[in-house]
Structures are given as structure tokens and as C-alpha cells.
Chain A
Amino acid sequence: VEQSIFLARHDRGRGASGEIVLFRADEYLWEQSISDWFRLVTANDDGLLIRFGEFLQAIQPTVIHVHHYLHLGMEMMQLMRVACPTAKIILTLHEYVAICFNHGQMIKPRSNQLCLRGGFEECHMCFPSYAPEDFWLRKHRLQSYLRAVDQFIAPSEFLRQRYISWGIPSEKITVIENCIRRRDIPPVRPLPEGGRRNRFGFFGQVTPFKGLEVLLGAVVTLRREEQRDLVIEINADKLEDLAGELRPRIQSVIGSLEFSGTVLWRGPYEPDHVGSRMASVDWVVVPSTWWENSPMVIQEAFACGRPVICSGIGGMAEKVRDGVDGVHVEPGNIVAWADTLRRLSTDDPAIWDQFRAAIKLPCPPTECAARHLQIANERN
């Protein structure tokens, strides 16, 4: 690679000015936004047609790798095609935003039921203020712009299949796992005499779809002495920083659990500290109630030699082998989660050793980069 230039969407709090500014050598910031979230329309036309057009003209890329259209709009795909007719355009898909208007989650608003396959009538049922025809038009618009993309990258086979059934030709989507930094494997947590593998770690953002409520709800249903047998460490934003209705709901269950030492709210962490945070737990839990794509936390857990307990659906089920390097649990089922926590926290530690031994380390960054380069260098 002769040169690579980075362009990131940016918000300086002055709205979508459309300006593209040099941040530091080879790195640019673009103040752009979306004016219509239903159809994913770029907010600032001049910023797109003039500023971004000039940006492309000046750097003349041979490969354009787009990591998202969120906050930018879908039209830029077509502009890249026209401005750089011979460039290879690659897009990495991260969730289901083009398929699903519910924040790309493919779960139904209000009921939070999992959605197996969108459709114009079904989507209208989820969002009655938009007619089925509006959903047809939304899909047609997004697919028309995505036609400019030469190759899609999906971090999971599950996500790839969702986009294929939505209409992206299968030969145009390749699976390449997200790249994570190589790190030292933290030591196994030393067990006291007769100790059990009973410390569970939750990592990441707390949103309604991440299932923290399910996990805590499961702990609440355990008997007092069962609760004393395990520890849940929550590595997430400060509780008081949680937005919306989630904070009071979580606060109401967490009070006594925190007091008794069953739940430890460890607060936010820097990417560099993932290893040390994982060092103090035996298992990593991913109780998400949506499909997920390829959660980074699963790879981080495997890179740290920690088996994963996850909801047995979507990208999670694909990445974690049930009974091999982790355990699948029915998503959102508090009783099932409680049973799993009870069982794993009282099992013979030798069973945990088997799980750990089965873990395959994630693909190293060099290999991941090589796979990306291979796609970038393939002729259109």
C-alpha cells in the first residue's frame, strides 16, 4: 500500500456544515450528518457533492474502503462510483441498518421480539406511520446506491446470510472477522483451595439490547446462598451515566446485589485495560437480546483465554461453540440464565479447564490485514 488516507465523520457541535478538514497528516474529518433517518439521506448536499467530490478528486484513491454510511448517508457510494470509476469500492457491514429501520437491530419495537426476516408489510406493522410502499422505496433506494459497491465484507456468516436474503448477491459478500489487537493472555485466575470458576464478567455498552437486565434478573432469582457463590463484574459506563429508562430499572435490581458483593460495578475501561479486567473473571457473559453481528467482546474474551456464555442466536451463536469454548443460553430467558449461572459456578473447575483448552485464538491482525489486501487487490 503506497499511501492510505483516513476520513472520519465528525461532529463539532455546529451542525452538518459539510466541511472536510485536515485533522493531521493523512487524516481528515467530515462534518456531515443525516437529514432523513428513514431513507438515510445525507444532510449537507454541498458537503457531499462539492467537498467530498473535491476530496476524491484530490486524493484519487484506487481503493475506497467504507466502514459505515451511518451519519453520512447512502448517496456517497454513487458519488464515489462516478468520481472514481476505476476504484475498488469496499464496504464493511456492521449491523442490519439497511435492512431494518429499528436501529438495524432486526428486533421488533415495543415487543422486542426477534425478527427473522423483514418485509414491507411486516416493517409497516413495526412502524405504522410508514406505508409498506414507503418501505419498498426505502429498500430500492438503499439497494440502488449499494449497487456501486464492488465488494462487501461481513464480520460474521450470520450477517452475510441476512444481507444475501435481503438481496445482495452472495458472491459479493466475504466474511472477514473484525480485527483485534494482539495482546498477552492474562493469567488464569488463581483459585483458593476448593474454589470454583464462579466469576463472570460483562463487558461493553449498556443498551436495552445488550441484555444486562436479563443477567441481573437471573441473579435476583437465585437463592441468597447461591448468590453468595458467585460474582458478576460489570465493566460498562458508570451507572449514573446510563440514559433513559434503563438506569432506574437497573438501579432497582442492583442495590442489594451490590451491597452483598454479588455484583461489582467496575465502571468504564480503556481498550488497553481489557486484559487486566478479564484477568479477574473466569467467564465472559454476552446476554444480548438482539442478534448481534460479531461482538468484539467475544474475540477479546477468546484472546484472553476466557470461555464465553452467550445468547444462542445470530452472530454470538456463530462465534461461540456451545459446550466447547462456551455455553449458549436462550436469549432473554431469566430462568435459563439463572440455571446456567448456578450450574457453572458450582461445577468442578476441571470442566472450565476443558472449555479454556478448546478456545482458538482469534485471527492475528497481520492475517486479517492480508485478507483485506487480497480483496482490495482483486480486479473488479
Chain B
Amino acid sequence: LIATDGWSVAPLAKSSEAKILPYSPAEAARLLFGVPTESSMFAERCKVIDSGILPQFIEDNELCYKGYEVLDECLGVRPSDPIVSILIRLCRRFDTLESQILEFARDEFIRRNVEVVYVIDDPDIIDDVRVLARKVHKLTNFPLRLVWNGTNGGFSLANNLAAAHSRGRLLLFLSSEVIPVSPSWLETLVGTIQSASQIGAVGARLVLPNGGLQHAGMRLSYDRDLSVWRSRHPFKGIDPSLLDQTGPFGVLALTSACILMQRRVFESIGGWDTGYLIGDFADSDLCFKLLSRGMSCYLDPRSTLIHLERDSFEDKRNKSYRQKITVYNAVRHQTKWSSLIEGLDDSSVL
């Protein structure tokens, strides 16, 4: 890489040999992000350089993903006209499936009115998930459906696929790391979303296994070190009983780990944005789409689920790569929603 003013030439960076970026967006990003830049300048670099390169890879990947044949397996008879479809994406880990189904099976509302669809977004676990799902189905008689296309599409593609292969009037996107611990939580969320038409999405309060808060709505905060706006979970780790949260309240954004919305609304806003790497920021993006259409997000603390949140801490080896992905996504997010972010009041900013 050189710089020239037409007369003199200054070398900026050297690489040993020219490389062709791999086809997969995540792998292309890994190679591209390997070209060093000071961390305080990386956001600027993403805006000028990487944002001109990676979207093409992401688009091609999406086209390719949509071309694969979708396979499914139905276990038991699902309700014919479900009120809600619970959509859960599985990747790498699926040890929570059993606990989730056992909870769904003892929830009268879910048994009567809900279909459950697991989208297996990891070719390595398809067979094992099917074996486990059949076993749990036989143990509980609880109907469920498995959907896969033999590839790994990432958060947004897989969840859009799951939505397209479900029938509920409402869609609940639920992380495989989130587990209910008592019945009727979903009925509560359904009641809330149906209570006012301007409610675009409702989320449950999520707590960590020891009882500390994990999520009760997200705010944005400006990261001066990285020069980007990032989403934050206020009061994370604190005993939620200390926070005066009794009934539903409006929040800037909800986590993708648990978000309920009307199918027609979801479809009208084009579903999950597939332009982010790996899936970071897709949740905030979705909520901003609702906000820009005059709808808002609500958090209902009367419905409280456990979030194990093991995924967030697993990429320690790749910390610098993960951080660069976050910056790339954050740059895309704040560019796309710049006017909305500028207009945010103090209650939405940390």
C-alpha cells in the first residue's frame, strides 16, 4: 500500500504476497481486519475502507444461503393456528434444548397456543440435535419442529429463515441460552404486546443464574476509546428487586435474546437486518426500525427468564478480532441511524 502526490511515493504498508479474500464474510473480515490499524483509528478506517469491501461478501453470502434447500423434521402435531411461534437458533451448543422443552411442556398457554421451531444453524450438530429432540419429544409429548439448510448463516439469516418457516401471528425470538423457570411468562408478554398498537416489540426481563440482572432494555453509550456508539445493558449484575420495575415500561431497545413482535410488523420492516457481521447490533437495528416507524419497545418485568449468557464470554482467544467486528458493526449501525442517534435524549444514553 503506497501513498503518492503524483511526484513522490511513500510506502504505507507491506504485505508479503497478495491474497484473495475468502468467500465467507466472517473469514474475509478476519483477513481484512488483520491489516493493522491503530485501535483509535479503526472506526474511521472501517467507514472509509472496510465498509466498501465487506457488504459485497455479505450480500453474496445471503444469496447463496437462500439458495440452499431447507429441510425440516416435525415431531408431534403442532397447533394448527398458533398464536405465537417461538423461534430458537442453535449453533455449537444445544444442551439447553432439553431444559427449554421441559419448561414449555408444563406451560398450559404454550401447550395450547404456541409452536416451537428450532433452526439448526450449525452443520456439525444437526444429527445430534435431531436425536436429542426426538428423545425429549418422546419424554414430554411436546410437539416441536426442527429446520435447517445444512449451513451456518449466522443470527439474522437463520432467524429470518425460522420466521419464514413458522405460522404464528406473533413471533418470539428466543436465545437458546434463555430458559424460563415458571409457566405463564409468554402469556404475560402476549398480553402486553396486544395492549396497545404502538407497541412494536416486547421483551422479558432476563436475569443471570445467581439472580443478578442481565437485561431490562438497552441504551446506547459512546465508547471514546473506539469512537463508536455501543449498546449497553444498564444495571447489569444488580439484584433487580432494587430497581423499581413492576409493570411494563418503554425502553430504547431490546436484546435479541428474547423479543416478541407481531409477524406483520416483523415482515413490514423486512425482518432482521442481515448486513451486520455475525449478528451483533441486529437487535438494536430492529428496534430502531420500529422506532423510526413510530412504534416503541417495551420491557415487561413481570415475565422474568434466566439468561445463561455463556456465548458472550467464549471468544476470549479472538478478543481483538471480536472487538474489530463490533467496531465494524457499530460503524454501520451509527451511520445507518445517525439522525436517530443524534436525537436521543438522556434517558436513552448511558
Q: Do A and B come from one complex?
A: yes
Which residues from chain A sit less than 8 Å from chain B, CB to CB? Answer: 39, 45, 49, 53, 75, 78-79, 82, 119-121, 131-133, 136-137, 140-141, 144-145, 147
| Residues B310 and A131 in contact, CB atoms below 8 Å apart | yes
- In the complex, given contacts A78-B139, A140-B306, what are 15 additional A-B residue pairs having Cβ atoms less than 8 angstroms apart? A49-B135, A49-B138, A49-B139, A78-B140, A82-B139, A82-B140, A131-B310, A132-B209, A132-B210, A133-B308, A133-B309, A133-B310, A136-B209, A137-B308, A141-B99
10 contacts between A and B (CB under 8 A): A45-B131, A49-B138, A82-B141, A132-B210, A136-B209, A136-B306, A140-B179, A140-B181, A141-B98, A144-B102
Which residues from chain B sit less than 8 Å from chain A, CB to CB? Answer: 95-96, 98-99, 102-103, 106, 131, 135, 138-141, 179, 181, 209-210, 306, 308-310
Docked pose: A53 CA to B139 CA in angstroms: 10
- Contact A120:B139 (CB < 8 A) given known A137-B99, A140-B179, A145-B102: no
The 8 Å CB contact of A75, one of B99, B139, B306, B308, is: B139
Q: A250: shortest Cβ distance to chain B, in Å?
A: 41
Docked pose: A49 CA to B135 CA in angstroms: 8
Q: Which residues of B contact A45 (CB under 8 A)?
A: 131, 135
Closest to A133 in B: B308
Docked pose: A263 CA to B133 CA in angstroms: 58
Docked pose: A322 CA to B98 CA in angstroms: 47
Docked pose: A120 CA to B210 CA in angstroms: 7
Q: Which residues of B contact A49 (CB under 8 A)?
A: 135, 138-139
Q: Which residues of A contact B103 (CB under 8 A)?
A: 144
Closest to B98 in A: A141
Q: A380: shortest Cβ distance to chain B, in Å?
A: 16
Q: A49: shortest Cβ distance to chain B, in Å?
A: 5
Closest to B179 in A: A140
The 8 Å CB contact of A121, one of B98, B135, B210, is: B210
Q: Which residues of B contact A119 (CB under 8 A)?
A: 210
| Residues A136 and B308 in contact, CB atoms below 8 Å apart | yes
Docked pose: A39 CA to B179 CA in angstroms: 17
Closest to B99 in A: A140
Docked pose: A105 CA to B257 CA in angstroms: 37
Q: Which 6 A-B pairs have the closest CB atoms?
A: A136-B209, A144-B102, A133-B308, A78-B139, A49-B138, A140-B99
- Contact A144:B139 (CB < 8 A) given known A131-B310, A133-B308: no
Q: Which residues of B contact A145 (CB under 8 A)?
A: 102
Q: Which residues of A contact B95 (CB under 8 A)?
A: 39, 137
Q: Which residues of A contact B181 (CB under 8 A)?
A: 140
The 8 Å CB contact of A78, one of B99, B102, B179, is: B102
Q: Which of B98, B103, B179, B209 has the most CB of A within 10 A?
A: B209
| Residues A147 and B106 in contact, CB atoms below 8 Å apart | yes
Q: B267: shortest Cβ distance to chain A, in Å?
A: 34
Q: Which residues of B contact A79 (CB under 8 A)?
A: 138-139
| Residues A137 and B140 in contact, CB atoms below 8 Å apart | no
Docked pose: A75 CA to B98 CA in angstroms: 10
Docked pose: A122 CA to B179 CA in angstroms: 22
Q: B49: shortest Cβ distance to chain A, in Å?
A: 38
Q: B42: shortest Cβ distance to chain A, in Å?
A: 31
Q: A172: shortest Cβ distance to chain B, in Å?
A: 16
Q: Which residues of B contact A140 (CB under 8 A)?
A: 99, 179, 181, 306
Docked pose: A75 CA to B140 CA in angstroms: 10
| Residues A137 and B96 in contact, CB atoms below 8 Å apart | yes
Q: Which of B96, B99, B306 has the most CB of A within 10 A?
A: B99
Docked pose: A222 CA to B216 CA in angstroms: 65
Q: A99: shortest Cβ distance to chain B, in Å?
A: 16
Q: Which residues of B contact A53 (CB under 8 A)?
A: 138
Q: Which residues of A contact B98 (CB under 8 A)?
A: 141
Q: B127: shortest Cβ distance to chain A, in Å?
A: 14
Docked pose: A269 CA to B79 CA in angstroms: 61
Docked pose: A15 CA to B164 CA in angstroms: 45
